Amino acid sequence: MFGNARNAISAYQKVDVDVAIEVADPHRLVLLLFAGAQAAIGKARTAMQHKQIAAKGEAISKAIDIIGNGLKVSLDLEKGGEIAERLDALYDYLILRLLRANLNNDLRALEEVAGLLEEIHSAWREISPNAVQQAVA
């Protein structure tokens, strides 16, 4: 009985995320990518602490995918200048740290990546699309 309820909740959450993605502007999409990466790292941390190797690997792979194929790909290196270049290098570093965390069961590496992502995520939350448009005008 509870399995069906869990499936329904999971399906609802997926629909909720899918709808959020469909209606999100680019700024909101980046926020969703940060949240997704942080959630995956949180799952990896829990799995690592409980010695759930497969779950740890899946969660770290998901975080790497979000950083490499989401956050990194969203950078405009031509228009973004030095900031975009530094973020590009930082995302490469985060991916390497996640790979090391996975190989060595390194909880400190996970914590480091989570902390760095939170700093960037926090700064991104402070940037509202309206403030950027007003500054340009």
* pLDDT tens digits along 9-33: 343 344 344 445 455 678 889 999 9
Would you call 60 exposed, middle or buried from its count of C-beta atoms within 10 A (0-12, 13-18, 19+)?
buried
Asked if 108 contacts 116 with a C-beta cutoff of 8 angstroms, the reply is no
What pLDDT shows up at residue 127?
86
Classify domain 2-126 at the CATH topology level.
Answer: Four Helix Bundle (Hemerythrin (Met), subunit A) (1.20.120)
26-80 confidence digits (pLDDT tens):
888 999 999 999 999 999 999 999 999 999 999 999 999 999 999 999 999 999 8
Closest CA to 36 of 4, 1, 74, 80: 74
pTM of the shown model: 0.78
